[in-house]
Every structure is written in C-alpha cells, then in structure tokens.
Structure 1
Amino acid sequence: MTMQSLLKTALIAVCLTVHLSAIGQRKSLFNGKDLSGWTIHGTEKWYVEDGELVCESGPDAEYGYLSTTETYKDFELVVHFKQEADGNSGVFIRSDIEGVKIEGWQVEVAPLGNHTGGIYESYGRGWLIQPAPEDEQYLKPGAWNKMKIRAVGGEVTTWLNGKQMVQLSDEKIGEATGFIALQIHDGGGIKVRWKKMSIKEL
C-alpha cells in the first residue's frame, strides 16, 4: 500500500470515528443567547429574552416557524416550554418548508384540552393520533412543561412531564428525514417560551 493510500485510509477512519462519536451524544439546540443554528420563516416574532427563546404573534398574525439549520432522522429530543397568552404552538419533526408552507409532523403544543403531545401531519392526513382525554391533565398551563420526543424509523413516542402521551408506528414518517421546527399558530395573541432544548441522535 502506498503512502497516499495509507493517508487516505487513516483519514476515512478518523472521519468515521468522529461521526460515530457524535451519535449518542446529547447536544444543545439553543445557546440561550441568540438564534444561531436556527432559521426564521414568516413574519412572526422570534427572539431571546432572559436566556429563553420566545415566539410571539407579529402584526400579520400568520403561521410562523423557526427551523434548525441541520436535519435529523433518528433522535431523542427534549424541550421545555411555557405557554403565555393563547400558547398555540408545536414541534415539527422530519420536516421541510417552502415559504411558510411546512410539510412534516407536528407534536402539538396547545392550550389545555387541545391534544398537547399528539401528532398531526401538516398538509397531509391531519391528526394521526391524540392523547387519551384523561392524559390531557398532564399539561401545566402557565408553567414550565417538559416534552420528550423519540423518533426511530417509523416509531414516534411522545412524553409530557414524564407521562407517555402517544406512541405511533407510521411507514410514511419512517421514510422521512428533515429539520426540527417550532411553530407559532396563526390568529394572533400567541406567546410561548422555550428553553433547555437538546437532542441526541440515535
């Protein structure tokens, strides 16, 4: 084997090691200072205040999204949110967007009794699964909530404040890869705070 071939083989090995070491490592998606690593879609407000990420209705009162610049396939995502005002929002997974038309799957974040933790397919089949009515009570209005989303292949499971909300097996979801996005619903008067957002690729 020539020296050039040896160097090429060594470089491939190093790159593979770096890639494998990244898998399974939890990393933060929000630095608490600015919107680095995120892209704004639409005219609604996204800003950082007191180390928290805030989404708030803008003058157009339309849909708005904040998407990661990186795409993800299999992962475990943890976010903390607090609903202020109407609080209608959501977390999109394996998604794609053009303008403010998003295609993908939303894990709902909404006022009490509106299926937080359920999974909705945007511009597609609509609601795929909703939490049991008795589980809606695990949402804490006006307080911080912890949501966990685990997506592996076509299996998606959500938890809210430690309670499993839904588990879905779906072939279409299993075929997709895309970014993660936070949503602000249209209609105006909406405000949601986010913090401690982290992801672990699986």
Structure 2
Amino acid sequence: MKYFLMICSFLLLSIPAKAQEFKPLFNGEDLSGWTEHGTERWYVEDGELICESGPDKEYGYLRTNETYKDFILTLDFKQESNGNSGVFIRSNLEGTKISGWQVEVAPMGSHTGGIYESYGRGWLIQPSPEDEKALKPDDWNHMKIRVEGDEVTSWLNGTQMVHLEDEKIGEGTGSIALQIHSATPGNEVKVRWKNLRIHVLD
C-alpha cells in the first residue's frame, strides 16, 4: 500500500500545472454562470450546450457573468445545419449589440479561427485557406484560444489558425460570449458546444 500511494503521488505531481488549473465554464446541466441576450434559443441536452435559431432568427448571445482578461480557453463544437457562430473575448453587451472581438466559428471556407471586431474594424485577421481545412464539418472540433495582453492566438484541432498583436484588444475588458448568427427562413443556425474550460493567466 505504501508503494502504491507513492506511485499515485508521483503521478499527480507529474501532471502539468496548467492542466490542473483549468476549470469548467459550463457545468453540463444548466446555464448557471451565464446570461442570455436576445430571443434565440440556448439550452442543455445530454450534457451539451446548444444554440439554435429562435422565432426571430436574429443574433443572440450567451455571455459569462464573470469578466476575463488574460486566459486560455478550450472548447469543443459541432456544427449542425448552418453552423455560423463564434466566441467573443473581452466583450460587452447592451441588449444584442456587442462590442469586442470574435474568434469565428463558421462553415468551411468562412474563416473559422479568424478574428473579427464587431461594430468596429471588421476582419482583423483570417486563417489561410490551407489552414481552414482543419475544420471537420458535421463532426466535433476542438478549439483553443489564448488571450494575453495585446496578443490573441487561436488553434483548431491542433492547427494554429491565427496569431494577432493588437493594441486595441490589449486595452479591452469584458466577458466571454458565445454567438448565434442571424439566419434566414430555411437556413437556421444550430451549434453544439461542450467541454468549455478556462485557465486564467496571472
């Protein structure tokens, strides 16, 4: 037993510090810790967070109640129907008008992993067409976003999509928010999310 405990202790100590410091943003049961903006649908099904076009088919957002400045965020998403969505960093909302920067989540060829500034300069950087092939349509995708100071880096399924240094982003503060894009009749948006985890950087 003594040797067994020693081995267990060694294994725990060998886990990288950052892996130990990640904590869940979504509890897999309900929307605790988040606030909805707009009429679009956000709900939990089988431990997954789902966004889906509602009756108005307009933009909608689900934002964290806490604000985050410097962090590493990891998550998995699966696009169903029209998968146009996104992850906002350092964002602020008034109704459904958002200020901040979006790491794009979109169908193939629509710049998933790129960074877009809403109600501002528009596209700041897009991934190369070759890197965009990292997206797996109709399957689960793993995204990682690192935000530190004035730098933002995104990865999709292990491929670095973009790296951006921007003074305006460096000055920003706010929440993390998930977006559902507006839709047209017959072209509704639906995206599944899971394993949302964050490591706050000192």
CA RMSD of aligned residues (A): 0.8
**TM-superposition CA deviations, 1:72-115 (whole Å, max 9, x none):** 00000001000000000000000000000000000000000000
**TM-superposition CA deviations, 1:133-181 (whole Å, max 9, x none):** 1111100000000000000000000000000000000000001111000
Query: Corresponding residue for 1:63?
Result: 59
1:177 equivalent in alignment to 2:173: yes
Tell me which amino acid in the other structure corresponds to 1:193. R
The CA distance in 2 between the partners of 1:73 and 1:93, in whole Å, is 8
Q: How many residues align?
A: 179
The CA distance in 2 between the partners of 1:109 and 1:98, in whole Å, is 22
Deviation of 1:195 after TM superposition, in Å, equals: 0.1
Query: Corresponding residue for 1:109?
Result: 105
The CA distance in 2 between the partners of 1:94 and 1:25, in whole Å, is 21
What stretches of structure 2 of length at least 5 have no aligned partner? 1-19
Tell me which amino acid in the other structure corresponds to 1:42. G
1:72 equivalent in alignment to 2:56: no
**Counterpart among 78, 89, 96 of residue 100 in structure 1:** 96
**Counterpart among 144, 164, 167 of residue 148 in structure 1:** 144
1:30 equivalent in alignment to 2:45: no
For normalisation by structure 1, the TM-score amounts to 0.88
Query: Corresponding residue for 2:159?
Result: 163
What stretches of structure 1 of length at least 5 have no aligned partner? 1-23
1:199 equivalent in alignment to 2:195: no
